[in-house]
Amino acid sequence: MTVPATRLAALRGATTLDADTREQVLDRTAELLGELLRRNELHSSDVISLLFTATDDVRSEFPAAAVRAAGIADVPMLCARELAVQGGSGIPLCVRVMAHVTTVLPREDLHHCYLRGARQLRSDLPE
């Protein structure tokens, strides 16, 4: 029996907040990352790095703080502002993530994760 090779993959996801509060940023970001890992049968040790963006109206906390609060402090993370493009998605209070992970899953079996109001960003993807 051959063991599938581990490879580097990038997963995308996003969620929205009801209000810009520290608690919402922490809770919703933790929920997003947890769901991304669950859907792809991953563990925190599979995460190589995380890049978060947030819309201009998210100012109460860094999304990366939720990851550190969950006990994942050894993963490089970066938080940035989402581009405020004229005619863009227009989704307020939105946190997005790109997770670089190691996985044995082929690309076609990966599941990106768009929760709450962010679902409309990629309604073409299966749940």
Q: Just list the catalytic residues.
A: 12, 68, 79, 82, 96, 114, 122
- What are the residues whose beta carbons fall under 8 Å from the beta carbon of 2, sequence distance 6 or more? none
Query: What is the spatial distance between Cα 127 and Cα 120, in angstroms, rounded to a whole number?
Result: 12
Q: Token digits for 82?
A: 């989402």
Query: What is the spatial distance between Cα 79 and Cα 112, in angstroms, rounded to a whole number?
Result: 19
